[in-house]
A and B are shown apart, each in its own frame.
Chain A
């Protein structure tokens, strides 16, 4: 157990509503990531963080924002959810250069 928790695990929301997904870790890992998984695309990087308040965009960042105000929490926000953001979202954590990433259990988000 790498001490990583995603919440919620499942969510159904309406188009146009804001949604925030939370990734919480308990072991002071420096790096945190948000990926989305879609059929035919594998996992794609949305945003990542390399420290408190240090974040950057990934491959599919449009429509998403993130915040990391403390080491243990990395929040992913969909400001106005769209149906194209229906997906499974994974958070991952990593301690230092060269170490492996550990993934959370994923959040299934459905936008109707």
Chain B
């Protein structure tokens, strides 16, 4: 079974600065997807960014980027120019590749990291 570990229960950053959230995972699979989800106080789960394991290029979405190290099984999220609206719980998640039709899209989540943004 796959496991996802977020070792930072809480992180903080000053507005306009950069912060990196860590995530490691364990799997014996070669094809899979990794995600970062944001959960603000509203409780809504919002997809921030996704990475396909077969892609060597790190995914980027505006101020959000990842550092995907497949051999090290590491998947960190970098938030640049932090904004007050970035304050939330962030979850790292893993999903097996669906090509065989047997994984059913099940997600495995890390424990979460609470990000505080200071003005």
- How far does the alpha carbon of A92 sit from the alpha carbon of B43 in the complex, in Å? 13
| Residues 4-35 of chain B, each 1 if its beta carbon lies under 8 Å from chain A, else 0 | 10100000000000000000000000000000
Q: Which of A12-47 contact B (CB under 8 A)?
A: 31, 33, 35, 40-45
Q: Are A42 and B104 in contact (CB under 8 A)?
A: no
Least CB separation from A43: chain B residue: B109
Determine chain A's interface SS by DSSP, over half rule. strand
Chain B contact residue count (CB 8 A cutoff):
22
- How far does the alpha carbon of A45 sit from the alpha carbon of B4 in the complex, in Å? 14
Determine chain B's interface SS by DSSP, over half rule. loop
Which one of B43, B99, B110, B111 contacts A88 once the chains associate, using CB atoms below 8 Å? B43
Which one of B42, B93, B101, B111 contacts A41 once the chains associate, using CB atoms below 8 Å? B111
Chain A contact residue count (CB 8 A cutoff):
25
Q: Residues of A at under 8 Å CB distance from B?
A: 31, 33, 35, 40-45, 48, 50, 56, 58, 88, 90, 92, 94, 97-101, 103, 105-106
